[in-house]
Amino acid sequence: MLRYEDVAELVRIIDSSSCAEFVLDTAELKLTLRRHGAVGSVANGPPPSPQPGIVSTPAAPSPAAAATPAHAAAPMQAGHQLVEAPMIGTFYGAPAPGQPTFVQPGGRVAAGDKLCLIEVMKLYTTIFAPVAGTVREICARDGELVEYGQVLFVIEPG
């Protein structure tokens, strides 16, 4: 069950980001937080539908990535695959502190290989490679807050 402190932390994170809406849907409750509006609803609901850990787009960075120069992707070549954050959370490039990162720039990945973790309220979501190829860029830093749609990786298929 969510405590008041958990909801307050979510509000703080969303308030400091450019996220317009956050939905947490579990078997016990559904919580919707919207910017420029009231907290949505807290109610019993059905279990959440599974969501993929990756979002791929053609070759242009997302508006969230383009708006933040620190997160802008390198010049893109046609056919590069962008892996975007499917949620707001903290980016971790390694399975635990002090351990090697899942991938390195210039490293090869197979489709389905682990790329990183995104943590939200002590829940970790693994982000997987959508295609086999070479990691051309890692666009997020370990331990930093990433936003929904922010480009995390650029992969050159092949």
pLDDT at 114: 96
Output the pTM of the full model: 0.55
Give the residue extent of every domain in the chain: 4-43, 63-157
The model's confidence at residue 65, banded by pLDDT at 50, 70 and 90, is very low
Average pLDDT rounded to a whole number, residues 124-142: 95
Query: In CATH terms, is domain 63-157 a member of 3.40.190.10?
Result: no
Q: What is the 3-state secondary structure (H, E, C) of 58-124?
A: CCCCCHHHHHCHHHCCCCCCCCCEEEECCCCEEEECCCCCCCCCCCCCCCEECCCCEEEEEEECCEE
Inform me whether the pLDDT recorded for 25 exceeds 60: yes
Residues 86-111 pLDDT 10s: 999 999 999 999 999 999 999 999 99
The model's confidence at residue 64, banded by pLDDT at 50, 70 and 90, is very low
